[in-house]
Amino acid sequence: GEAHSLASKGLALHPLLPASPQRTQMEMTLHVVLAVSVMTTKGCSVPEVEQACYRALELSRQADDDLQVFPILSVLFGFYLVSAQFQTAREMAERLLRLAEQQPEPLLKLAAHLTLAVVLWQMGELPAAHVHLGQRQRLYSPHDHLKFLQFGHDPTMTSLAYAALVLSLLGYPEQARRAGLEAVALSEHLAHPCTHAVTLHFISQVFRGLRELPIFQAQTEAHLVL
């Protein structure tokens, strides 16, 4: 709520500044903050999220740094995913991956593969989702934890949680179980509440599907407490 209020006040005041690259950068940043705060307080599918992101994208065309587009596209991806506009979300994820592949940072590549895997999972394309989640083995580094909190959670962590879920749906129960237990243990060690909550949410589904009800119950109760 406070972030939304401050971003709105900043956007109201920024026209008073003289035109400059710094003013453009500031406005773009404020629109991203506004979009994320609206997603958090009102929901991911609120039209205001899409409007703020497209204004930020328009401003980003005036900048030379392509990396500034990455968080904007990430938020737009979340908007279309939660709105069940899966084809548009897929296009955003593919654009994120193209952008990430031009950068030297492995973490951005992992985050982009995760976004594409998530929408492919939602579209029922499980083998393709599994391929993208498998990129974790190549791109994962513990040093990258909490460096890029896509949608508020750590992609180096939640990529493992999604992998466990997709493995269970593909019919690999033992692999899913191992990945699930590893994901929960790692998220507990990481001690980042939102990441831990996302992990518990998806891993509890894995153990429900495996009919391991005591583990499912324990994880569900831990999720409720968190």
Q: What is the rounded average pLDDT of the residues 138-155?
A: 86
Say how far apart CA 130 and CA 21 lie, in whole Å. 42
Range of 51-65, 111-125, 147-161 with top mean pLDDT: 111-125
Among the residue ranges 7-11, 105-109, 159-163, 199-203, the one predicted with the least confidence is 7-11
Q: What is the rounded average pLDDT of the residues 45-70?
A: 77
Q: What is the rounded average pLDDT of the residues 4-14?
A: 81
Nearest partner of 74 among 116, 38, 102, judged by Cα: 116
Whether the pLDDT of residue 57 is over 80: the answer is no
Whether the pLDDT of residue 30 is over 70: the answer is yes
Q: What is the rounded average pLDDT of the residues 16-20?
A: 84
Nearest partner of 205 among 224, 180, 222, judged by Cα: 180
- The structure tokens listed for 193 are 């509440």
Full-model pTM: 0.85
Whether the pLDDT of residue 184 is over 90: the answer is yes
DSSP secondary structure letters along 101-136: HTSS-HHHHHHHHHHHHHHHHHTT-HHHHHHHHTTH
Q: What share of the chain is helix, strand, coil (3-state, %, to 5)?
A: 80, 0, 20
Q: With pLDDT > 90 as the criterion, what percentage of the chain qualifies?
A: 56
